[in-house]
């Protein structure tokens, strides 16, 4: 009996390998922590237990803001497709108009009108200082060489030049139209005097010296707009045109102030467009 009680007391006095808490959990060593550093708080201790699977606060978190990027992408795609459609339509129209005009030009084969000086004369030419007076009468024929195109001429602005740079007189002629393969004559009457158009004295001196040799050369120019048409389905855009009749020699008889175009004068005119 004595031996059994001793063994029982011995068993009670020996500590167990693991001490149990009232909750039944095993006692674990205290968590590790870092020594405090100067000026900074120590980091929180490491917990050996995983975080809970539920939100630790009383109220649920607010729902996250959701951006519907699909709708935005669809709107951008629609705008891009719309702009591409407009650009493609514009390119198609430009190419169509260009091709149509090219076909018309190849089919109609437009040609420039031909101009020729028929008659040219000067009346009352006086180049004695301090006055300068003269009247020019110009008759220029124009021919429409086209077989399919009619030509409409706008108002004609005529100018008389000396030495290509000095303008002596100006005049205007009415507009007109020409049928295919027809010919017309443009009449221009230009008058110069010191009241309407002052001419420099050095230019008058040069005219007087050339007049003393029996002939004076003038330059006649016409500026106007034209457009071609064929029936009611084709009409070209108006374009500016200039006709230059250079170095028209006027021969004077004796001391008279009247002169006519010389037989050797060049009567063909140059068309600039």
pLDDT of residue 238: 93
**3-state secondary structure at position 20:** strand
Q: In this model, does residue 30 exceed pLDDT 70?
A: no
Matching residue, tokens 């031909």? 114
Exposure string over 228-237, b if 16+ CB within 10 A, otherwise e:
bebeeeeebe
pLDDT greater than 50 at residue 21: no
- 155 in Cβ contact with 176 (< 8 Å): no
**pTM (predicted TM-score):** 0.64
> Which one is the CATH code of 114-272: 2.60.40, 3.30.70, 1.10.10, 2.40.50?
2.60.40
Residue 270: CB atoms within 10 A of its CB come to 11
Q: What is the pLDDT of residues 142-162, one digit of tens each?
A: 999 999 999 999 999 999 999
Owner of token pair 């020699």: 249
Average pLDDT value for the chain: 81
pLDDT at 131 over 70: yes
The DSSP code for 15 is P
pLDDT at 101: 76
**pLDDT exceeds 80 at position 7:** no
For the chain, domain boundaries? 114-272
pLDDT tens per residue across span 32-82: 555 555 555 555 555 555 665 555 656 666 666 555 555 555 656 677 888
User: 42-56, 130-144, 182-196, 218-232 — which is least confidently predicted?
Assistant: 42-56
243 CA to centre of own chain? 29
pLDDT for res 17: 45
CA–CA dist 208, 216 (Å, integer):
9
How does residue 175 score in pLDDT terms, banded at 50, 70 and 90? very high
| Number of Cβ within a 10 Å radius of residue 238 | 13
Pairwise CA distance, residues 229 & 156, whole Å: 19
- What is the rounded distance in angstroms from the CA atom of residue 149 to the CA atom of residue 68? 64
- Are 31 and 40 in contact by the 8 Å Cβ rule? The answer is no
Tokens 């076909």: give the residue. 103
């Amino acid at each position: 009996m004595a031996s059994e009680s001793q063994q029982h007391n011995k068993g009670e006095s020996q500590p167990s390998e693991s001490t149990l808490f009232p909750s039944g959990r095993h006692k674990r060593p205290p968590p590790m922590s870092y020594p405090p550093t100067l000026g900074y708080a120590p980091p929180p201790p490491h917990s050996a237990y995983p975080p809970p699977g539920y939100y630790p606060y009383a109220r649920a978190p607010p729902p996250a803001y959701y951006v519907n990027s699909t709708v935005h992408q669809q709107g951008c795609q629609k705008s891009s497709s719309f702009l591409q459609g407009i650009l493609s339509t514009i390119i198609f129209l430009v190419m169509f108009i260009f091709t149509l005009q090219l076909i018309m030009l190849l089919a109609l084969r437009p040609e420039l009108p031909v101009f020729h000086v028929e008659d040219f004369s000067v009346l009352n030419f006086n180049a004695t200082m301090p006055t300068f007076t003269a009247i020019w009468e110009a008759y220029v024929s124009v021919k429409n060489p086209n077989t399919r195109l009619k030509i409409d001429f706008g108002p004609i602005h005529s100018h008389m030049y000396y030495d290509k740079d000095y303008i002596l007189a100006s005049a205007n002629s009415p507009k007109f139209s020409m049928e295919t393969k027809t010919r017309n004559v443009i009449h221009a009457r230009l008058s110069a005097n010191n009241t309407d158009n002052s001419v420099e004295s050095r230019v008058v001196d040069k005219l007087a010296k050339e007049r003393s040799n029996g002939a004076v050369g003038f330059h006649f120019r016409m500026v106007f707009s034209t457009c071609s048409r064929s029936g009611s389905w084709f009409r070209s855009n108006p374009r500016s045109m200039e006709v230059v009749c250079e170095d028209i020699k006027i021969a004077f008889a004796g001391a008279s102030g009247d002169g006519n175009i010389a037989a050797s004068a060049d009567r063909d005119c140059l068309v600039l467009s």
